[in-house]
Chain A
């Protein structure tokens, strides 16, 4: 039995650049299961919050704790960046990379990579240089690369931003499958329909602070803040 790495408890976290506060103070607990959607207008701090949870930002104040030592927690999580970062290698080599880091044999890694390439519809592009893929293909590759080592939790920063309707549906299916298989998901999106389809709970950010945090049905039916209500109506949030 492997020790679960969750819940992740963040308390009083503040992220600053120079003297400007980008995020916080934020208290947030990521429970053991669920599909958390982070919403909020541009610049609200969604990316900053995700990066903080993943451990990419240094806190000016506050801290967070995993249930296992940090080193181990780091190995058991994945991240999909808002603008995908491609290694200057083929699609196949990109998919293999996280497995090889963990010491998986090349043959087995390649087999897994082929399987994942097929799931995200990149099986014809395995030998293509990844930096030359289209924006949407890069996002699919980044998603597959994050999920391939079977992380306990994966953070996704608008993973469907450049995808067409069909690809979005495919990705949502993949995410729901992974989620059902026990992968905790925390994801930022601007797409209200997508949020409604996927979320079990919602974190709504405004100006770097959590304005609202509720179960999905509560958030979508009875939003507590005027800004969330406006966002859900499709109005512009000031």
Chain B
């Protein structure tokens, strides 16, 4: 019991004093996950919106695939990205394995279906609500899309934040493709796993506090967006 309390206070101290290792690892985590979230959003938000509006033959099938992809185990994604990027794999020449870029690729694959699925649902709901009005006003296809994206902007932002929340806490895939290399590809989750394994609980707990802080912040933001939605601000 004493060990744990010592670890917690030491970890807390590391956060308060902005321990250089902790800061470096945190920044690497943010760099990878923010980039992955932006890339994934650029792919997923328009795709989700398009899926909500367009009727085509295999739409149901595509949605089913999307939902299935959402449940992909991250470790398996890591394994596949590893195989693709490894020296003997099809993209081996690029030399991306064990770089932040590899981690970004893995995270993009993991969160794109999630963001697309949330965006799809949100835009579909608004489209169902607006359908008759927008048809009645004889809007063009582009006017419709812009209207739905604009009035769904909070939901789309929420989707992106949910993607960020999923990616920042993910271990399996980035451990495999990033390798948890000190000063290169070590991020919050992989570092926690490593330090815990080594028995250095203070750094692990300090990193854990940062991770919890980030997760809580994202959830507060999502909640706040929901409130402005109800209040109709911006």
Contact = CB atoms under 8 A, between A and B. Distances in A.
B151 A56 contact: no
Contacts of B147: 87
A89 B136 CA distance: 18
Contacts of A101: 137, 139, 143
Contacts of A74: 138
Contact of B129 (A56, A71, A85, A97): A85
A128 interface: yes
A128 B141 CA distance: 28
Chain B at the A interface: mostly helix, strand, loop or mixed?
helix
Nearest to B129: A85
B135 A98 contact: no
Chain A at the B interface: mostly helix, strand, loop or mixed?
mixed
Interface in A80-117: 81, 85, 87-90, 97-98, 101
Contact of B132 (A75, A85, A97, A131): A85
Nearest to A130: B232
A31 interface: no
B74 to A, nearest CB: 35
Contacts of B130: 85, 87
Contact of A56 (B135, B139, B143, B232): B135
Interface of A: 54, 56, 71, 74-75, 78-79, 81, 85, 87-90, 97-98, 101, 128-129, 131-132
Nearest to B151: A88
A98 to B, nearest CB: 6
Interface in B80-133: 126, 129-130, 132-133
Contacts of B151: 87-89
Contact of A129 (B133, B139, B143, B232): B232
A94 to B, nearest CB: 10
A71 B139 CA distance: 11
Contacts of A132: 232
Interface residues of B, number: 16
A131 B136 contact: no
- 7 tightest Cβ-Cβ pairs between the two chains A and B: A129-B232, A74-B138, A85-B133, A79-B136, A88-B151, A75-B138, A98-B137
A75 B130 CA distance: 18
A85 B147 CA distance: 14
Interface string B211-234: 000000000000000000101100
Nearest to A129: B232
Contacts of B135: 56
B232 A81 contact: no
B232 A128 contact: yes
A107 B132 CA distance: 28
Contacts of B126: 88
B136 A56 contact: yes
Nearest to B140: A101
7 contacts: A78-B136, A81-B132, A87-B130, A89-B232, A101-B139, A128-B232, A129-B232
A84 to B, nearest CB: 9
B136 to A, nearest CB: 4
| Among A71, A88, A90: residue with most chain B CB under 10 A | A88
Contact of A81 (B133, B143, B229): B133
A56 B132 contact: yes
Given A85-B129, A88-B232, A89-B232, 4 more contacts: A85-B130, A87-B130, A89-B151, A101-B139
A116 to B, nearest CB: 16
B49 to A, nearest CB: 15
Nearest to B126: A88
A56 B232 CA distance: 30
B2 to A, nearest CB: 55
A129 B132 contact: no
A226 B161 CA distance: 63
A78 B138 CA distance: 10
B227 to A, nearest CB: 13
Contacts of A75: 138
Interface string B138-156: 1100010001000100000
